[in-house]
Amino acid sequence: EKKNLEEQRDIRERELKMEAKAKDAELKYFLSQTDPHFLFNTLNAGMQLAMLEGAGKTSSYIGNVAKFFRYNLKKDNGVTNIEDELKLVDYYMAILDVRFGGEIKLVKDIDGSLLYTEVPKMIIQPLIENSVNHGIRNMEGKGVIYLSIYKEADKVIISVADNGEGMSPEIRKKILDSTYKKPEGDNNGNGVGLINIISRLRLFYNSDDVVDIAENCEYGGFEMNLKIPEKGPRE
């Protein structure tokens, strides 16, 4: 039975690697078809026009959109640090502030000594987005997201929690199951973005022990903790 489980995990790991390569190829194709200079020049022109018309808030909004896309479209090796990931979160929250009229609040508690910890790109902002879309977007009253980054033993913990609707035990189990494969064409369900993050972290660090989803969140909603090995990726 143990051998069968190991074989299943090996097969799933190969599938994940193939999926990651396919996604990478899709992204490279998208980038090849997109002219970033045109996008950013257009956004910058809009920002300057807004400034000339005295629309400071509009100019700031367009600027944050430009910075958000610039980070995502930047051609690199897919590795960054926590400081840059937090900048992306700030751009995203500034955009949300306009979209939702300040109804969504982010509370941060960050250990500054961990800012230069190396991590895979795009692992924090999607967690915030998940809380918005699946936890607090449709709730009554103000939604609050709590982002904490701290050290625990030999791991750097990146914790995102909210006061939203929470997650069912069934979905939690599926997301944490390393052999679970999302249905073909399912791109909108709760957890799809989370599965992508977990898959990338497991491949990057060559370990299954990189994430935890709290059964009971102290804020009443959803809580996910990324467990980043301090020593970095393992070959």
Residue 21 is assigned to a structural domain of this protein: no
pLDDT (tens digit per residue) in 10-41: 777 777 777 776 666 665 655 555 567 777 78
Q: In sequence order, which residues have a C-beta less than 8 Å from that of residue 66 and are 6 or more positions away?
A: 40, 43, 44, 47
Tell me how crowded residue 195 is: count the other CB atoms within 10 A of its CB. 19
Q: At what angle do helices 82-99 and 56-73 cross, to 10 degrees?
A: 140
Tell me how crowded residue 201 is: count the other CB atoms within 10 A of its CB. 22
pLDDT value of residue 24: 65
What is the pTM (predicted TM-score) of this model? 0.78
Residue 62 is assigned to a structural domain of this protein: no
pLDDT value of residue 30: 57
Residue 80 is assigned to a structural domain of this protein: no
Q: At what angle do helices 56-73 and 36-52 cross, to 10 degrees?
A: 170
Residue 135 is assigned to a structural domain of this protein: yes
pLDDT (tens digit per residue) in 61-108: 999 998 998 888 787 788 899 999 999 999 999 999 988 888 899 999
Residue 65 is assigned to a structural domain of this protein: no
CATH assignment of the domain containing 130? 3.30.565.10
116 vs 156: CA distance, rounded Å:
11
Residue 197 is assigned to a structural domain of this protein: yes
- Comparing CA positions, the residue from 153, 54, 136 lying closest to residue 93 is 136
Residue 19 is assigned to a structural domain of this protein: no
161 vs 28: CA distance, rounded Å:
32
pLDDT value of residue 224: 95
Residue 209 is assigned to a structural domain of this protein: yes
Yes or no: say if 59 and 47 are a contact pair by the CB < 8 Å rule.
yes
Total structural domains in the chain? 1
Relative to beta strand 223-229, strand 143-152 is: unpaired
Domain that holds residue 102: 96-235
pLDDT (tens digit per residue) in 119-131: 999 999 999 999 9
